[in-house]
Amino acid sequence: MGKTLIYIFVSMLFSILIFSACSKEDVEPEKGIIEEFTQRTGREAAENIKSPLDKARALQEKSAENVSRSDSLLNE
C-alpha cells in the first residue's frame, strides 16, 4: 500500500509539472479600449494628413508640367 501511494503521488506530481509547463503560452495580452482608440485615432489622423499632401504633390507636378510646356511654347 505504501509503494502504491508513493507511485501515485510521484505520477501526479509529474503530471502537474508537465501540464503547467505546457500551458504557459507567450500570448500578447489583449489591447485595452484606450490603446485601441489611440491607435485607430492615430491611423485616421495620419491618413487625413497624408491625403492633402498627396493632392498637393500631384498639383505641384501638374504645375511643373504646365510651366515646362509654357517654356517650350515660348521658345518656339
Residue-wise pLDDT tens digits, 7-42 = 888 888 888 877 776 555 666 667 788 888 999 999
Q: Any idea of the CA torsion for 63, 68, 72, 74, to the nearest 10 degrees?
A: 60
For 44-64, what is the mean pLDDT? 88
pLDDT given at position 41? 93
For 40-51, what is the mean pLDDT? 89
Residue 19 included in any domain: no
Residue 60 included in any domain: yes
Look at the chain and report how many structural domains it folds into: 1
Residue-wise pLDDT tens digits, 55-74 = 888 899 998 888 888 878 77
pTM summary value: 0.40
Residue 5 included in any domain: no
pLDDT given at position 48? 86
Pairwise CA distance, residues 14 & 8, whole Å: 10
First to last CA, the chain: 112
Containing structural domain, residue 55? 41-76
